[in-house]
Amino acid sequence: MRRYVMKSVVVLLLAAFVLFGTAQTPLKAQQKTVLTVEVFDRATPGFKADDNYWTKWIQKEFGDRNNIQMKWVTVPRAEEVSKVNILMASGDAPDITFMYDQDTVYNYVLNNSLTDLGPYIAKYGQNLKKYLGKFCMDTGVFLNKQYTVTARRIMVGCMTAFIRKDWLDTLKLPLPKTTMEWYNDMKLFKEKDPGNMGKDNVIPLSLNIYESNVTWVVRLLLDSFVPASMTEEQEQTLPVWLKPGYKEGMKLLNKMFNEGLISPEFALDKNGKISNTDMSIGKVGSYMGNFDIVYRQTPGISTELAKNVKGGLFVPVDCFRDAKGLRRKRQYGANGFYIFVPKYSKHAVEAIKYMNWMSDKKVLDFLLYGVEGVNFKERIQGIPVNIPQDGEMRLSIDIPIIVNGNDFGDVDKNILAGSLNQLPEFQDLWRQAYKMSITCERPYWEMAFPIASQAKYKQVLFDKDTEIFSKTIMCKPEEFDSLYDQLVKQYMEAGGQEVMQDRIAYWKKNYGGANK
> Please, are residues 500 and 239 in contact by the beta-carbon 8 Å criterion?
yes
Report how far residue 351's alpha carbon sits from residue 69's, in angstroms, rounded to the nearest whole number: 12
Report how far residue 129's alpha carbon sits from residue 142's, in angstroms, rounded to the nearest whole number: 17
Among positions 334, 466, 486, 511, the unique one binding other proteins when judged by CB under 8 A: 466
Does residue 85 interact with other proteins by CB under 8 A? yes
Name the residue nearer to other proteins (CB basis): 392 or 498: 498
Does residue 346 interact with other proteins by CB under 8 A? no
Report how far residue 362's alpha carbon sits from residue 369's, in angstroms, rounded to the nearest whole number: 10
> Please, are residues 47 and 392 in contact by the beta-carbon 8 Å criterion?
yes
Report how far residue 352's alpha carbon sits from residue 100's, in angstroms, rounded to the nearest whole number: 19
Strand, coil or helix: 367: helix
Residues 324-343 touching other proteins, rule: CB under 8 A, are 342-343
Residues 10-39 touching other proteins, rule: CB under 8 A, are 10, 13
Name the residue nearer to other proteins (CB basis): 118 or 260: 260
Among positions 270, 307, 476, 508, the unique one binding other proteins when judged by CB under 8 A: 270
Among positions 304, 467, 481, 502, the unique one binding other proteins when judged by CB under 8 A: 467
Residue 61 CA neighbour count, 13 Å, CB half:
15
What DSSP assignment string belongs to 1-18?
A: -HHHHHHHHHHHHHHHHH
Backbone angles phi, psi at 60, to 5 degrees: -70, -45
Name the residue nearer to other proteins (CB basis): 128 or 205: 205
Does residue 93 interact with other proteins by CB under 8 A? yes
Name the residue nearer to other proteins (CB basis): 170 or 466: 466
Closest to 165 in 3D by CA, of 304, 266, 305, 307: 305
Residues 98-157 touching other proteins, rule: CB under 8 A, are 104, 107-108, 111-113
**H helical segments located in 475-496:** 480-491
Does residue 264 interact with other proteins by CB under 8 A? yes
Does residue 421 interact with other proteins by CB under 8 A? no
Does residue 213 interact with other proteins by CB under 8 A? no
Choose the stretch contacting other proteins; rule: CB under 8 A; options: 289-297, 361-369, 468-476, 503-511. Answer: 468-476
Measured over all CA atoms, what is the biggest interatomic distance in the chain, rounded to whole angstroms?
Answer: 98
Q: Which residues bind other proteins (CB under 8 A)?
A: 3, 6-7, 9-10, 13, 81-82, 85-86, 88-89, 91, 93, 104, 107-108, 111-113, 209, 264-265, 267-268, 270, 342-344, 455-456, 458-460, 462-463, 466-467, 469-471, 474, 493-495
